[in-house]
Structure 1
Amino acid sequence: MPPSSTGSADRLDATIPGAFPGSEASSHDHVQSVSTHQTLSQSLYERRDEYTRPRNVRIKVGSWNVGAQKGTEQDIGAWFVDGKGLEKAFAGLGVTENAGERRESVREQEGRASKIAPTIPQNDGAAEPSGDEVGIYALGLQEIVDITSPAEALRPYSDPSVAKRWKEAIQAAMPDGYQLVAEQQLIGLLILIYVSPAVLPHIKNVSTTSVGTGLMGYMGNKGAVTARIVLGETTRLAFVNAHLAAGADKTALDRRNWDAGQITSRTRFDPITDVVGTTQAHGEVLGEEDFAFWFGDLNYRLEGMPGDDVRRLLTVHTQGLDTGTADEKGLSADGSPSSATPESTSKNSSNIGANEDEVPLPAEVDPASMQTTITSLLPHDELHQQQKAGKAFHDGWAEGPIRFLPSYKYDIGKVGVFDSSEKRRCPSWCDRILYRTRAAKQRYEARVKEQEEARKRDEEMKAKGLDHAGDDEEVLFDYDPDTDGDNADYDEYDANADPEPEPVSTKDGFSDEILLEYYTSHMRVLSSDHKPLDAIFSLKYDAVIPELKAAIHQEVARELDRQENEGRPSITVVVDRSTGSASPDNTNKTDSDFDGVDFGDVAFAKSKRRNITIANTGRVPATFGFTDRPIEEGLPEGPFPPWLSVTFDREPDKLDKTAADKAASENLHTAYTLEPADVVNVELKLKIAVTELVQNLNEGTATLDDILVLRVQQGRDHFLPVRGRWMQSAFARSIDKLIRIPEGGIRKLQHQKPSHDDPVQWSAPRELFRLTEAIESLMERTLAEWDMTGHDSDKAPWMHNAGWPFVKDPRYFADGTHEEILVKLYEALDCNEPFDAAFDPETAAMQRVEIIAEVLLQFLRSLQGGVVPEDMWEKIEAGIVTSEKSKRQLQPDEERLSTLEALSAIPHNNVCFILVTSFLQKLATEIANATKPDPKTPRSSMDLPASPQVSVRRKTLSKVPEVAVRQLINRNYATVFADAIFRSLNADKMREKDKAVRKERMVRVLELFLADTDQH
């Protein structure tokens, strides 16, 4: 199993080659969600015979430990791609003869061997399938760098320049059109996979990885590089190039087994989507593929065999070669005097030089043959022993018959001379090519399951006392953990028999077949102390034909769509066109040309309504509701834009927990269920009244264009476009832009925006002039009418409300009562039209002044930057703070002058400030004079107007009744207009206490300008 997440290895840098893999969650964040709609894929899979065709491909797997020797890349193309360098006498499985009859002799070859030229025999020919006869080339190299060097073994990265040199050499030898589809390097390990032009279109889901098992258990001087490809969308192939621990002692053997287990448990490939459309939640591991090939320098030795004896046995056969070395000098392979004469060598070396009249014995029964010698040595092969003991490669791994000499260790530059150095290493089959099919692994797992079940039955019977029923009776099941782990039947094949084709049912249910055709070593390659070896497999597989699959896919989709439509919920959405308006482009097209809800022209604060009808036109009940709409980043989320509200003419469903959870999973905020033929009416209301949105619409950074999503459970989504055409407004603009709007109002600029380059038309916004003038005029009429009528029975609103007309008395001005009139006034302001047209002729002047006062406040609150911008207020407040700290109270005239001096830096804002404060001062004077409290009444019992905006203690007011009334009015006006005139920085981040202090300072500034200077 992979290391625990709590282990120290998890803290290793993930970039170190071969380090422990990270957590699966982080490694596979890119994995897509599993599709919930499997019907189409499953139906398509059931018809797989119609869109797959059998294909055949040869797979050539090669392995070579190059020992970090220079010049070895010059031999790679000749033996691996061209199939050269084989020796007939030691050919191996499938090789019967060499094509090159005039090839260079061994003596000549060894005589010219060098590091600057290929060592392959000259004039050699291919003795196995080569070139374009092979569809997939999979090459594993070991020790392409010197891994015995501490600098290389501990290097935190792989040097790509070395791999580049090898790739260039192999690509030069490949037939035209062959391409590299997978590569992975781990320090000295390199795996390269090339495919032919015919196979390339069938390669998908390539994934490579590496596992280091060297120093400290994870460094890359030992380990494996692996690759996974999917062939024809049906067949998973895994290739493992490994270099296991070296050494001939028991500890080294155990470490090799540990290395193999680590490689198996820690290898992770990227997830893939199978043929039925399911994407794995986690990556694939070794064992999930259909065919696996494990090759490399596995380093398993000949256990318990003296090296000198093995060399002597094998030298008997190599002396038949024209080596010009050991046999010529009369020496054995270990350097001792040879007792074998040329005659005896000829007699005992696999019938070499035998009498032509003699009938040659088959190699497997000839006691003097090389195969007999090999067969006698193989029982001592550690790999076979570990497989049989169930300690490594016992779970379905197989190997072709070994009919070639050990691949290690040879003198570099020699064909058949085993290690003549001081170490005199025992020859061994260190380099191997194993393969495993899905069927073989399943057979192994079935045996393990049977053994486990047998063990459990045996324990159960022993627990019942049935283990020894009598002296003559034996227990039915007897499990011994010390012996039953012996996998004596791990190799169900005859090691010397030619392989037979093995049928395999793939993971995705397709029928494949594999046959090992060749397994041999290339003895005539001299540039390394390891002989390279290769194995050639013939694979018959079912390949998906894309054109046929596409046609079947369409048929299946149409049929499923027909079946699904008959039984799925279905609704129809009808948009009411009776209130349609011209389309936004002002062409002759009408709302009928727009497949959605068109609100037409949209003005500030004006509500517009449209209706839709939803009908259940299916055969089953339909549950639906609006779900979150698709939006761009930064826009408000939810089912509706902030300027739209939606109302159904019925109550939503009352859902139990299961139904509520289902609705929540589909993001249905409210759900409604309609029976077949039932309908529901829905009203959509649009209103633009939020200052920020008005500003964005004016500037063109926002639009009234959105899409609502009506989701039907187990049905399809309906998309309902919604749009409107924004009519430019004077609200939510800056003073600097408003003073540049020409005569006629903002609507004159419907298709353009006010610019700083436009000439200044007004000293202050014309809208401000119009509103203040209208209020002053109406106030005069109101006061005059009141004086004339003399309403003794009911006091005037200003008699009991010191904030009137800006603070409404709910008895006369309830919220929403005058919404339509306000909208008409907003429109009149934007279009530069008379305000009187917005009122009913019978509307009293008193009510008119109240409503226009509301428009004035709305206009000031919406001004971008306000009358007194944030930075300007900071300067004014700084002066106030300085005065407060110095405890020197400025005279009112000095304070007013200080404020006006600060505002002089922004002259147009200064004009607006003076305009508004002068207007309020005049209004307050007129209302205070109209109140006229009885001067003879003591202040303690004086009937003063209420102060709705701010609490005022009576003892702080003037003892003069007229002055006290004026103070109340000024205080209320200043409080109301402080937020409308001033803008302050970071107000939302301030403490409530600090906000109150700042607000009081603003009110104080306004009171200075509202005060009647003639009063004392």
Structure 2
Amino acid sequence: MSPASTGSTDRLDANIPGAFPDGSTSQQSISTHQTLSQSLYTRRAEYTRSRNVRIKVGSWNVAAQKGTEQDIGAWFVDGKGIEESLAGLGVDDARPGSSESRESITGQEARSPSPTILRGDHGAVPGGEEVGIYALGLQEIVDINSPAEALRPYTDPTVANRWKDVIKAALPKGYQLVVEQQLVGLLLLVYVSPTVYPHIKNVSTTSVGTGLMGYMGNKGAVTARLVLGETTRLVFINSHLAAGADKAALDRRNWDAGQIATRTRFDPITDALGSAQAHGECLGEEDFAFWFGDLNYRLEGMPGDDVRRLLLRHTKDLDPEPSIESGIPSSNVSTTSDASKSSTAGSSDDEDAIPLPPELDPASLQTTILSLLPHDELHQQMKAGKAFADGWAEGPIRFLPSYKYDVGKVGLFDSSEKRRCPSWCDRILYRTRAAKQRYDIKIKEQDEARKKDDEMKAKGIDHAGDDDEVLYDYDPDTDGDNVEYDEYGDNADPEPEHVTTKEGFSDEILLEYYTSHMRVLSSDHKPLDAVFNLTYDAVIPELKAAIHQEVARELDRQENEGRPSITVVVDRPTGTPSLDNKDTTDSAFDGVDFGDVQFAKSKRRNMTIANTGRVPATFGFTDRPIDEGHPEGPFPSWLTAIFDREPDLADGKALTDKLAPDYLHTAYTLEPADVCNIELKCKVDNMELVRDLNSGTKNLDYVLVLRVQNGRDHFLPVRGRWLQSALSRSIDKLIRIPEGGIRKLQGQKPAGDDEAVRWSAPRELFRLTEAIESLTERTIAEWDMTGHEGERAPWMHNAGWPFVKDSRYFEDGNYDETLADVYDALDCDAGFDTVFDAGIAAMQRVEILAEVLLQFLCSLQDGIVTAELWAKLEEGLMAREKAKQQPSPDEERLFALEVFSKAPNHNVAFVLLTSMLQRVANEVANASKPDPKTPRSSVDLPASPQVSVRRKTLSKVPEVAIRQLINRNYATVFVDAVFRAPPDAEKMREKDRTARRERMIGVLELFLAEGER
């Protein structure tokens, strides 16, 4: 798997090797029903079988040396290059073949460079087909000390290809590469055998750079996670930590390790059934982890010459002239044979002497290693809890330090001027899930003990109190800080460890081999490997699929019996003929059909919901998303629902909106056999919607989603047939509608610009103004004739009447149906007298018609005075204001009419409307005249509900003041209905908008005052 396959991110540094991993994932998470997972898990023994696999982990710092790849197959795959006398765990002198056939060290060193592996070697550790998983970690496959390589924002595949080619040639036939991850000089390769390959799933790789600036790839780790047999998570970490022998370098190594542990993230795991985790995994969630590479931990406080002199006792027999090449006088070196003889002194018969165990023989390699290991920084940091303390372990070290050797030599340590101290820089660590859990429990107990101790100290309990008092005294700086090296316990042969995996399966792992390959000479690091024997429970996919089907069927049966279930019944009205004499009902339509729908007219349909299940059912209408993050809501603007019961309550609040389960709009619960009735009301009263319905860009079709918690959704289609309306159209369209109204064109092509002009102004405006004028006269006459003792006429206390309604007569929507019938009559070109019941007085009739007129004018798309006409008119008015001209009212009116004449139909409509307002104002003003006998100072003027008018700005003559009030109120009521402001209105300052509105009101007042008498 290439680095590019690890996922992409929008972060700027995403393409830099070792960048912080992206926390998001593009993979959609899929949730699996918990009961299904649990039931399947309880039957895991039926679909799993025990399997055994050897895992071979190898690590080598090749130091960017040319030709090192020629040695890789021999030592890593075939197990060659081990010097038994200096070998580690699991390696002894018993080996196949004759030792005499092996190449001598002198001959091997003489023919270097590559390949450097000795000839005639038969291998001392398992290899070939004995190993099921090969995991190889290489460091410094390129020169990381070169700035050009260290800062390179990509990896060169040609370098990795050289290694892959030689490994593929060395591996048995059929082995597959399942992991490839490179970060500058780090390369991680994992191969599996043909029998293991089908059981490998969910491979995920990532990189973490910790080098320059804390994230560049010259130091860091490449990591892979794979799932074996659908049961066992394996993680392989190949790392290269900071170099150096001082305290700062040690701290940086610990920091590197911490960064790798916290920043490593893997993709979510998807099982064979398609279920996936919601989030990816990080280190610590696996079952078995292997951390290997050049960790660079050194021997703390040890002089390099002393260590080399000590180790030379064991390597001098491998070196032709050790005293010369190492710079150590030969007189200071005793031979191994001499030391061996001294170890058996005191015995008179060598044949009867009992050989000492290596750890008790002062001249043995084991004793030398045990004397050095207490100074090993890695062991010190692990015991101090500063690095790799969270469950990581290492096999017993029984081999010489892996660094630093002269290239081309078997056992000659650094003979350069630096004379570096030999160290175990290269390591292979491993961790089980059980070990990580033990560490977590230990940390939790320490935290609890520390908190308890702090609580007791806060209470003033002295440590020197009674013996019966127990203190949990915890000091994180000293507790657990035991740096003494257990020379026998830590170096003992490992025992098999039983592990319960994350999925609940039982596995067992045993470290069989841990050794270095001394006879590999092409790098200054000796390669090392470890062989683990893993016994695991593997899922058999065919068996699991069969068990899954059985479990799913059983759960489905149980769930269906206990799942909430409702039945929805929609009441269907009897068919009624529409305008085109067609039945508006459709027996095949399985939903709510409102039939013909007209403006402002409410249509109602009933539906019944019954709980037909065995358990309570919680339901409600749910939101319909129109795009991500912007729900449309459960109902369109023209549809509402009324339930015959109160919604569910929680803490005294109705479960509405986001409080309801599953995001129901409102939650209701029905007990078994209980029913709920719902009334659905359709009403179109939004002008924007009317415009869209008239044009056909929208319709009255919708689908309600009725959601049952833990049950299935019910989809309820709703529809209505829109009846065309004269509202929300332009004057240019209205003057082309034939006699009979807009409904006469129902179902036909809308009137276009090519249709003949039939009217000088909209016929609807003619009819409304004529009816209002006539009813105003009638209302005033009836009031005078009938008399109302002690009651003032509405126009006596309301200067805006009849265009500002008397609210006393229109409470609770008393006349909503009548209002809708008036709109219908307007659209059908029918007489208004046929709409009003006999019980509706003339006063209420004129007020209803006045409301219809205002709604009609406000809905005009272009207005009586269009934005273009007003712009020209305003330009002239502002020019007069600037020139401080004061033309007469007649001149002002002539100027306005001259501007309006550019649009004749709009001009006629304006004159028609203002003429009607003049006559109505005259009638109302005459009816409001005070009694001549009443002193002028005592005359009460009508209230001004639309605009605040100061008394001193009005005429002192009551009759004139009343007319001024009426004109001002009428103009204020109609200003927004008549004029359309230019597009620049939104950008104007509030002060300028106010001034513009006053000019518009002034124009209307100018024409209303024309008819004063």
TM value normalised by structure 2: 0.77
Find the partner of 2:973 among 976, 992, 1004.
976
| Contact 1:182/1:193 (8 A) holds in 2 | yes
Could you tell me how far 1:867 is from its partner in structure 2?
3.1
Name the counterpart of 1:143: 140
Distance 1:798 1:592, change over 3 A: same
1: CA distance, partners of 2:963 / 2:302: 120
Name the counterpart of 2:514: 519
Could you tell me how far 1:835 is from its partner in structure 2?
5.8
Deviations 1:645-694 (A, max 9, x none): 22222344565359869982525565544444332221111111011222
| Contact 2:623/2:631 (8 A) holds in 1 | no
| Contact 2:584/2:596 (8 A) holds in 1 | no
Question: Residue 928 in 1 paired to residue 926 in 2?
Answer: no
Question: Residue 421 in 1 paired to residue 413 in 2?
Answer: no
Question: Residue 53 in 1 paired to residue 62 in 2?
Answer: no
Name the counterpart of 2:674: 678
SS of equivalent residue, structure 1 residue 1012: helix
Name the counterpart of 1:237: 234
Name the counterpart of 1:373: 365
Question: Residue 295 in 1 paired to residue 287 in 2?
Answer: no
Give aligned pairs, total: 966
Deviations 1:596-627 (A, max 9, x none): 43333433222111112223334455555445
Could you tell me how far 1:293 is from its partner in structure 2?
0.9
Distance 1:126 1:793, change over 3 A: same
Could you tell me how far 1:386 is from its partner in structure 2?
2.3
Which AA in structure 2 matches 1:722? Answer: V
Aligned pairs for 1:988-1003 (under 5 A) are 997-1003=995-1001
Which AA in structure 2 matches 1:208? Answer: T
2: CA distance, partners of 1:582 / 1:78: 94
Name the counterpart of 1:1004: 1002
Deviations 1:18-62 (A, max 9, x none): 99979xxx9469999997963333333222223333344443322
2: CA distance, partners of 1:361 / 1:393: 44
| Contact 1:510/1:542 (8 A) holds in 2 | yes
2: CA distance, partners of 1:149 / 1:560: 62
SS of equivalent residue, structure 2 residue 728: coil
2: CA distance, partners of 1:225 / 1:885: 79
1: CA distance, partners of 2:646 / 2:273: 42
| Contact 2:177/2:189 (8 A) holds in 1 | no
**Which one is further off, 289-298 or 71-80?**
71-80
Which AA in structure 2 matches 1:891? Answer: S
Question: Residue 916 in 1 paired to residue 910 in 2?
Answer: yes
Deviations 1:755-812 (A, max 9, x none): 97x525337797x223314642674588589989993647998898765554444577
Question: Residue 63 in 1 paired to residue 59 in 2?
Answer: yes
Name the counterpart of 2:505: 510
Which AA in structure 1 matches 2:369? Answer: L
**Which one is further off, 161-170 or 787-796?**
787-796
Find the partner of 1:534 among 529, 535, 539.
529
Could you tell me how far 1:144 is from its partner in structure 2?
4.0
Distance 1:736 1:263, change over 3 A: same
2: CA distance, partners of 1:304 / 1:971: 101
Distance 1:939 1:149, change over 3 A: farther
Find the partner of 1:616 among 597, 611, 615.
611
Name the counterpart of 2:855: 858
Distance 1:846 1:610, change over 3 A: same
Find the partner of 1:408 among 384, 403, 413.
403
Name the counterpart of 1:771: 765
Distance 1:590 1:72, change over 3 A: farther
Name the counterpart of 1:474: none
Question: Residue 597 in 1 paired to residue 592 in 2?
Answer: yes
1: CA distance, partners of 2:68 / 2:759: 89
Deviations 1:122-149 (A, max 9, x none): 8988775556765544332333454445
SS of equivalent residue, structure 1 residue 791: helix
Structure 1 segments unaligned to the other structure (5+ residues): 1-11, 350-357, 469-476
Distance 1:785 1:739, change over 3 A: closer
Deviations 1:403-454 (A, max 9, x none): 5543222222444443232233343332111112223445566778899999
Could you tell me how far 1:93 is from its partner in structure 2?
5.0
SS of equivalent residue, structure 1 residue 641: coil
Which AA in structure 1 matches 2:524? Answer: D
Distance 1:240 1:570, change over 3 A: same
2: CA distance, partners of 1:826 / 1:387: 88
SS of equivalent residue, structure 2 residue 785: coil
Name the counterpart of 2:160: 166
Find the partner of 1:791 among 779, 785, 791.
785
Identity %: 61
SS of equivalent residue, structure 1 residue 536: strand
Which AA in structure 1 matches 2:860? Answer: L
Name the counterpart of 1:399: 394
Could you tell me how far 1:295 is from its partner in structure 2?
0.9
2: CA distance, partners of 1:772 / 1:75: 104
Name the counterpart of 1:688: 684
SS of equivalent residue, structure 2 residue 756: coil
2: CA distance, partners of 1:182 / 1:772: 84
Name the counterpart of 1:355: none
Find the partner of 2:181 among 177, 180, 183.
183
Could you tell me how far 1:296 is from its partner in structure 2?
1.1
2: CA distance, partners of 1:263 / 1:490: 28
Could you tell me how far 1:292 is from its partner in structure 2?
1.6
2: CA distance, partners of 1:46 / 1:639: 42
1: CA distance, partners of 2:322 / 2:846: 130
Name the counterpart of 2:347: none
| Contact 2:510/2:532 (8 A) holds in 1 | yes
1: CA distance, partners of 2:988 / 2:161: 67
2: CA distance, partners of 1:318 / 1:492: 24
1: CA distance, partners of 2:284 / 2:782: 103
SS of equivalent residue, structure 1 residue 614: strand
| Contact 1:870/1:982 (8 A) holds in 2 | yes
Which AA in structure 2 matches 1:377? Answer: I
Could you tell me how far 1:380 is from its partner in structure 2?
0.6
Distance 1:654 1:16, change over 3 A: closer
Name the counterpart of 2:38: 42
Structure 2 segments unaligned to the other structure (5+ residues): 1-10, 342-349
| Contact 2:380/2:483 (8 A) holds in 1 | no
Distance 1:30 1:753, change over 3 A: farther
Deviations 1:511-535 (A, max 9, x none): 1122334434344544321122222
Could you tell me how far 1:510 is from its partner in structure 2?
1.0
TM value normalised by structure 1: 0.77
Which AA in structure 2 matches 1:975? Answer: T
2: CA distance, partners of 1:731 / 1:651: 38
Find the partner of 1:732 among 728, 735, 758.
728
SS of equivalent residue, structure 1 residue 236: strand
Distance 1:368 1:671, change over 3 A: closer
Distance 1:1002 1:452, change over 3 A: closer
Deviations 1:301-349 (A, max 9, x none): 456766556656766776777xxxx52x6865515687999x9999999
Aligned CA-pair RMSD: 5.8
